[in-house]
Structure 1
Amino acid sequence: MLAVQAENFDVAELTTSLYDAAKNVGAVATFVGIVRADAVVKALELSHYPGMSEQSLALIAGEANARWPLAAVSIIHRVGKLLPGEQIVYVGTASAHRQAALEACAYIADQLKTRAVIWKKEHLVDGTRWVEPSEQDVAVAAQWR
């Protein structure tokens, strides 16, 4: 399952669906990103280009599927204005083996941070600012290549 949506998601429901993805699932790994509580940042606004954003998620999921023996992948990325503590992104991977599920989940999370076609704007106590991937985010994502 791949989706870009404004609506919140149910982590338990998404994770359970990965258990049922195939008969040979022996491991499920998940990552949930949330808006950090910050004294300066009051909200995070995520916007996207419909079609292109979903295509970028599909490309990243496809790379993970080509690299690891996965039974299923789920990526849900929210858009809209989110408040501290709200869920932003869900990544779930299912595989016959733990290492493949864990590595693929980490790979997808790292790639989303730098390559997903989703723009982030922080609403601050004194204005707004666009968020770009940090040098560390880029370096971590590049280590997978």
Structure 2
Amino acid sequence: MVRVTIQHEDFDVGREFDALHAGDGGVGAVVGFVGTVRGRDGGQPVQALELEHYPGMTERTIEAMIDVAVPRFGLHAARVIHRVGLLSAGDNIVFVGVAAAHRGAAFEGCEFLMDYLKTQAPFWKKETTPEGTRWVDARAADDAALARWGQTSDNGAAT
């Protein structure tokens, strides 16, 4: 199974869930997260979101995140799909899915990967609003979410 895909196209959540536990009788839980483009951010309307990344570097960074998560949570499988390019409000942005023997490990593993992805993966986001475009800044709440796992963000947040 390919663990990381960066793509312009949408993804099929059902197909991704099925692939996470296909042929593995030890899987007792599959947990996933799908992030979508919000139509509002901070009370302001958002018409579109453009995502950029560093090809190659982005995939390696996410693979390294998965390499940490698999043994830490006893995951049987993990999958991250992240879209890039111009997306409209309501479009899917990201899929993070994991399979584990038990639900607790699956929930924690999925949340860990999403928290890590929000702060460590080299993506840049630009929102289009009725007033124009603006780059989306890193959020302190995302750094705090990562810190609870004992990890430090590249933004300098302490654990």
Q: Same fold (TM over 0.5)?
A: yes
- Bigger relative CO (Cα 8 Å, ≥ 6 apart): 1
How many residue pairs match? The answer is 145
1:10 to 9, 12, 17: 12
In the TM superposition, residue 59 of structure 1 has moved relative to its aligned partner by 1.1
Q: Are residues 1:33 and 2:35 paired?
A: yes
Structure 2 portions without partners, runs of 5+:
151-159
Cα RMSD after superposing both structures? 1.0
SS of residue matched to 1:140? helix
Q: State percent identity of aligned pairs.
A: 46
- Checking the alignment, whether the CA contact within 8 Å between 2:21 and 2:77 is kept in structure 1 is no
Write the deviation string for residues 51-86 of structure 1: whole angstroms up to 9, x where unpaired: 001011111111111211111000000000100110
Tell whether 2:101 aligns with 1:99: no
Other structure's SS at 1:63 match: helix
Q: Residue 87 of structure 1: CA displacement?
A: 0.2
Amino acid paired to 2:14: A
> Once superposed, which parts of structure 1, at least 4 consecutive aligned residues long, lie more than 6 Å away?
none
Amino acid at match of 2:33: F
The letter for the 2-side match of 1:138 is D
User: Is contact 2:112–2:146 with CA below 8 Å preserved after alignment?
Assistant: yes
Query: What pairs up with 1:41-60 in 2 under 5 angstroms?
Result: 41-60=46-65
Using structure 1 for the length normalisation, give the TM-score: 0.96
Where 2:118 maps in the other structure, the secondary structure is helix
Conserved 8 A contact 1:21-1:94: no
TM (normalized to structure 2)? 0.88
Distance 1:81 1:117, change over 3 A: same
- Structure 1 CA distance, aligned partners of 2:73 and 2:26? 14
